[in-house]
């Protein structure tokens, strides 16, 4: 795992982005969380327990798989970081496991979380069951319909599903509802799912998801004897992406690409491509990029992928965009659906529609390049198989 830059840990900022813009009742609670996280990061017993569960409960390390038939079709050598093989079927469990151990350390009595695609909700319900804490999962009613399988899984695991009809009834609205509950119930532990929100959450998620990049770096060196030429991940809030990217940010010869949920294309109101179409603003407790109207008010996002259907993005990604270290691209619904089907047909691996955005970007940019690349396959696609995606 990658330690957090001490200056970021102290200030809560990545360059000019980040911070904590919340009511005083939450500011006190989040300051307490930041202090406890700093202690846990350097506590050998905490790290030992976290690594134990990663290995024996989650099933890490996840494999780095050479996708031979996909590589042949594209004309470039593509490896898949198989986060879809984790317990619960996505990268989300890495962060949830770390945060539930923090919650236990802090004496939490209730866990709350938001979810879009449902993978974070499933992972949160899973770890809450693991330690025996009650759990509420906030979810937009639109996403409840789009992700019925994951809703059933959360219920089976003992979580209470709290639906919201606010706004577009998607991920942004689930976050709003969860934050509202947290303000009214500050004794709860908010297990945030992505690298967004007020300090210290972006640093916490970076730390717990960095296991992806640490493993991928070691694995590609073992298999190729060198670092990759490029790496790819999908991005909504940005947790799976920052997890992979963290292992390679200092390697200037490794190009880094992120695929945003482009929806119908570069048209405000029909896209979730925040870093391509958005502007800096304070949104949901942090200063980062956001999709805004002409009056600088947040506007609804749209993507076929519930996990990418979010008008904001993590502050670390905003900084990586402005410094030019990462290149962010819009991938449309149609491009993602095509990649979803191609990977299933060519490799026998059904990806989450979120992950299919990263596959699509790799297929587009690596055509006949004959280079070595890693694509983060952040989740599996069981939840998307029954959807009539072309008609949404």
Query: Which residues, at least 6 apart from 129, have a Cβ–Cβ distance to it below 8 Å?
Result: 135, 157, 158
CA angle 245/249/252 to nearest 5° reads: 130
Catalytic position from the list 92, 136, 321, 383: 92
The upper half-sphere exposure of residue 260, i.e. CA atoms within 13 Å in the direction of its Cβ, equals 32
Q: Which 8-state DSSP code applies to residue 117?
A: S
Instruction: Write down the residue that tokens 């730390």 correspond to.
Output: 207
Q: Six-digit token pair at 33?
A: 């969380």
**327-332 β-sheet, strand order:** 64-66, 77-82, 372-377, 230-235, 255-263, 327-332
- The reply to whether 252 belongs to the active site is no
Burial code (b: 16+ CB inside 10 Å, e: under 16) for 38-60 equals bebbeeeebeebbeebbeeebeb
DSSP assignment of 140-152, as one string? EHHHHHHTHHHHH
Are 376 and 233 within 8 A, CB to CB?
yes
Q: How far is CA 321 from CA 283, 312, 329, in A?
A: 18, 14, 11
- The reply to whether 11 belongs to the active site is no
Rounded CA-CA distance 278/236 in Å is 13
Catalytic position from the list 239, 288, 355, 378: 378
Burial class (CB in 10 A: 0-12, 13-18, 19+), 184: exposed
Q: How far is CA 329 from CA 78, 101, 198, 246, 261, in A?
A: 19, 35, 25, 19, 9
Are 17 and 319 within 8 A, CB to CB?
yes
- The reply to whether 114 belongs to the active site is yes
Catalytic position from the list 83, 114, 255, 342: 114
* Helix, strand, coil percentages, rounded to 5, for the chain: 45, 20, 35
> What amino acid positions are annotated as catalytic residues?
92, 114, 378
């Amino acid at each position: 795992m990658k330690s957090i830059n001490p200056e970021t840990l102290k200030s809560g900022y990545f360059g000019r982005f980040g911070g904590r813009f919340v009511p005083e009742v939450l500011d006190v609670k989040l300051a307490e969380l930041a202090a406890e996280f700093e202690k846990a990061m350097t506590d050998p017993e905490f790290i030992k327990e976290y690594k134990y569960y990663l290995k024996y409960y989650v099933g890490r390390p996840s494999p780095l798989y050479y996708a031979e038939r996909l590589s042949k079709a594209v004309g470039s050598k593509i490896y898949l970081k198989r986060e879809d093989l984790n317990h619960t079927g996505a990268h989300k469990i890495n962060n949830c496991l770390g945060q539930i151990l923090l919650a236990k350390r802090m004496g939490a009595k209730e866990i709350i979380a938001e979810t879009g695609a449902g993978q974070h909700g499933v992972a949160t319900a899973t770890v809450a069951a693991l330690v025996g804490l009650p759990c509420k999962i906030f979810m937009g009613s639109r996403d409840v319909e789009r992700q019925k399988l994951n809703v059933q899984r959360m219920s089976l695991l003992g979580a209470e599903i709290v639906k919201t009809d606010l706004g577009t009834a998607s991920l942004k609205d689930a976050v709003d509802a969860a934050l509202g509950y947290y303000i009214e119930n500050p004794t709860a532990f908010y297990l945030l799912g992505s690298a967004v929100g007020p300090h210290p959450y972006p640093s916490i998620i970076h730390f717990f998801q960095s296991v992806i990049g640490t493993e991928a770096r070691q694995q590609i060196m073992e298999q190729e004897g060198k670092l990759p030429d490029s790496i790819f991940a999908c991005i909504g809030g940005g947790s799976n992406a920052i997890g992979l990217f963290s292992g390679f940010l200092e390697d200037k010869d490794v190009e880094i690409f992120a695929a945003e949920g482009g929806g119908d294309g570069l048209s405000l109101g029909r896209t979730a491509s925040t870093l391509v179409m958005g502007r800096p603003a304070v949104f949901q407790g942090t200063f980062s990029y956001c999709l805004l109207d002409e009056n600088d008010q947040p506007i609804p996002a749209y993507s076929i992928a519930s996990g990418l259907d979010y008008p904001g993005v993590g502050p670390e990604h905003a900084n990586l965009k402005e410094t030019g270290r990462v290149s962010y691209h819009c991938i449309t619904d149609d491009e993602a659906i095509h990649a979803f089907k191609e990977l299933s047909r060519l490799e026998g691996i059904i990806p989450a529609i979120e992950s299919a955005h990263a596959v699509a970007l790799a297929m587009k940019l690596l055509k006949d390049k004959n280079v070595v690349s890693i694509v983060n396959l952040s989740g599996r696609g069981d939840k998307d198989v029954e959807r009539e995606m072309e008609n949404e």
